[in-house]
Amino acid sequence: MPSVNKTEKIQLNQWQGNEYPKRLDFNDDNLKIDNKFKEIDTELSDLTYKVATGTATVITLTIPTLGNGYAKTFIASANNNGSPTTINGQPLYKPNTTTAPNLTGGKAYTVWYDLSKNCFFIKASAEGNTVAYHVLAGDTFSNDNDTGLIGTMVNNGAVIITPSTVNQVILKDYHNGNGYVVGDSDLVSANIKAGANIFNVQGKASVVDTEDANATTAQILAGFFAYVKGSKVNGNASIQSLGGYKMLFGKANVIANSAGGVAFMKITTEVLIIYLMLILLALILLRNSVCFGAINIQTLVTVL
């Protein structure tokens, strides 16, 4: 007969002195022990990572009756490239999502079964959404898909850009923060031609192109200057050399210009007064013409 007292774990018989066991009681205890060893074998089997059978997206694993929270580790046989994947007919998702994980052939993955949702979730070993080209080349990182990934972002170091006449592409990837765009203290309005705009610096109005100028020193009065083809030209001409007449006050006489036969006429003060009076008379006649009718133009000319 079975004993009243039992062992704690698997309920084996513990007979007292007044209890008499039967062969069937021993057989029951042996069966309990054997079943427990089977469970241990299954657990030990789960600790041995085996390559999954099936395909990259239809995975088959040796699993006992599924229970909530049951965990299994396996080695993926091929890349699933993030495509929808099942294990023994049940969908496999990233933790707390309905998105398939990215499995890489040859790597081990631990999954667990969620009875309420009737699916497998991959055990979270890392989280994140960064990718290789966002991480500096040679550095390692982990994300939702895998761990120990290696970055591919190029290290450009300090990038120095010198302005030119065309747009220059700023390199993508990593910059160490010591780069810059070259500046120049000569980039001021006074150095820029009127009408031009360089990097939002407007040219000075007085800065003009003198390339088409052709004046010479002999064509510019002494004491004055001009700019010709970017160079300053000081004048050395006189009124006489430019073909003009010079009016002088003093004694009335005429002096011949030996350089070009030009006469210089000296006018006395008396002659000048008479000339001014004639101009005044002409103005009076012109005023009268407005009040009393047109005056004879020939008469006005004669008066002058």
* Average pLDDT for 164-175: 92
- pLDDT tens-place string over residues 252-281: 444 444 444 445 455 667 777 887 888 888
Q: Looking at the predicted structure, is the pLDDT value of residue 287 above 60?
A: yes
Q: Looking at the predicted structure, is the pLDDT value of residue 65 above 90?
A: no
- pLDDT tens-place string over residues 69-100: 999 999 999 999 999 999 999 999 998 899 99
Tell me what pLDDT residue 256 has.
Answer: 44
What is the β-pairing status of strands 108-114 and 85-87?
A: unpaired
Tell me what pLDDT residue 255 has.
Answer: 46
Q: What is the mean pLDDT of the chain?
A: 83
Tell me what pLDDT residue 258 has.
Answer: 42
- pLDDT tens-place string over residues 130-159: 999 999 999 999 887 777 889 999 999 999
Q: Looking at the predicted structure, is the pLDDT value of residue 29 above 90?
A: no
Tell me what pLDDT residue 245 has.
Answer: 61
- Which of 304, 247, 245 lies closest to 276 in space, CA to CA? 304
Tell me what pLDDT residue 191 has.
Answer: 92
Determine the Cα–Cα distance for residues 150 and 50; give it in Å rounded to an integer.
26
Phi-psi region of 241 (alpha: psi -120 to 50; beta: other; left: phi over 0): alpha
Q: Looking at the predicted structure, is the pLDDT value of residue 11 above 80?
A: yes
